Amino acid sequence: MMRTVKTVKEMAKIRGDLCKMNIIGLVPTMGALHEGHLSLIRKAKKDCNIVIASIFVNPLQFGPKEDFKKYPRDLEKDSEFLKLAGCDILFSPQSGDILGKDLGTSVHVEGLQSVMCGASRPGHFDGVCTIVLKLFNIVRPGNAYFGLKDYQQFVIIKKMTDDLDMPVNIIGCPIIRDRNGLALSSRNAYLSKDDYTKAVRINKALREGSRLAGLKKLKAGEITALLKKEYLKGMKTDYLGFYDADMLSLFDEKKKPSGKLVLAGAFFVGNTRLIDNIIIRI
């Protein structure tokens, strides 16, 4: 039986009462769950005795012109999904309960935010980190699971957790895609039929980029230019580049690469901002 907990106080109490021997897995989400989220629940289920999913549409991680208000919310449907996936506790606090009257503390991770989504969404990752840290303190999980679609988020949360000596293992899980290769995202719900036809080209572009990088004939900048021209017409590229997979620095042919790159991008298809990435071992 899945238990639903709606207040920070009750969640903290339940956590306090849990036996120390339990391995607790946390899957933090913003709801509007899809197979990507459920894959995290299933992975947590394998690793842990108790799986806790949180659903909280975090206002701090949305910019003033972003889609906080229209972000899809369907707690009832999400709750059913989680039950079926074997989640033990759903933690779905109200906004005011998490934010309090005057949340004045924020967490900042320096050095990993000047590129990719960080560059176009100022303050986004501070908002993510602050709320994730609060969730970690309330739930005190041993493991926390994040999808690698938000690759930069994964790297930043891992860095925050290491830097702050939090006793939590951050576990990144593979991107789940639909049958046309589109990375699953709650924001896919915004796509018109026409948008969708465009959106499926994103992953095709990244795979072609990965292939071209493997051939080592073109420079990184030449590859991304080619992808934009050949695959990504009809959408606005927010960013697209090859980055060091650990440091997130833009790949530089002149420097020795550290072993793993990520080819990552964000694209506006109509008004919908979609992200995707592919890891490249070099």
Q: Which residues are catalytic?
A: 37
Spatial distance between the Cα atoms of 91 and 198, rounded to a whole number of angstroms: 36
Name which of 38 and 133 has its Cβ closer to a second copy.
133
Name which of 134 and 273 has its Cβ closer to a second copy.
134
Q: Which residue has the tokens 């795979």?
A: 207
CB of 229 to a second copy, least distance (A): 36
- CA dihedral 274→175→152→129, nearest 10 degrees, is 100
> How many residues contact a second copy, by CB under 8 A?
31
Q: Beta strands 50-55 and 24-29: pairing type?
A: parallel
**In terms of C-beta distances under 8 Å and separation of at least 24 residues, what long-range contacts does 216-220 make, across chains too?**
219/253, 220/251, 220/253
Name which of 98 and 182 has its Cβ closer to a second copy.
98
- The helix or strand, by DSSP H or E, that contains position 25, with its residue range, turns out to be strand 24-29
Spatial distance between the Cα atoms of 28 and 278, rounded to a whole number of angstroms: 22
Name which of 163 and 222 has its Cβ closer to a second copy.
163
CB 119 within 8 A of CB 33: no
Per CB under 8 A, contacts with a second copy among 115-154 are: 129-130, 133-134, 137-138, 140
CB of 21 to a second copy, least distance (A): 10
Mask of contacts with a second copy, 11-30, x by CB under 8 A? -x---x---x----------
Interface with a second copy (CB under 8 A) = 8, 12, 16, 20, 100, 102-112, 129-130, 133-134, 137-138, 140, 159-160, 162-167
